[in-house]
Copies of this chain bind each other. A is one copy, B any other.
Amino acid sequence: MFGFLRSRKPSSAQTAKERLQILLAHERGSGGGSDPDFLASLQRDILEVVRRHIEIDRDAVEIKLERSDDLSSLEINIDMPGAKARTPG
């Protein structure tokens, strides 16, 4: 399953940098039902959580949302050039 990150084209300056990729996939099944904006609100909260752990620049976050009939997916790519670990709390 490592392929999904490896498959990004490395830009010359970024190959040695730290990166975090988060993929969310929500399969609604035949029932439909849950909030169509579920992934979008999860995305906001997850980015908040990530910011609690590391310092990230807003410009270093790239987000792609895809929807089909019964499946929504969200891809969050974060470049962490000068990532410093934060102490939790």
Contact = CB atoms under 8 A, between A and B. Distances in A.
Given A71-B2, A73-B2, A88 B24 contact: no
A61 interface: no
Contacts of A21: 23-27
Contact of A25 (B2, B45, B73): B2
Contacts of A1: 4, 23, 66, 73, 75
Determine how many copies of this chain the complex contains.
Answer: 2
Q: DSSP class of A's interface residues: helix, strand, loop or mixed?
A: mixed
A24 B20 CA distance: 7
Contacts of A52: 45
A53 B49 contact: no
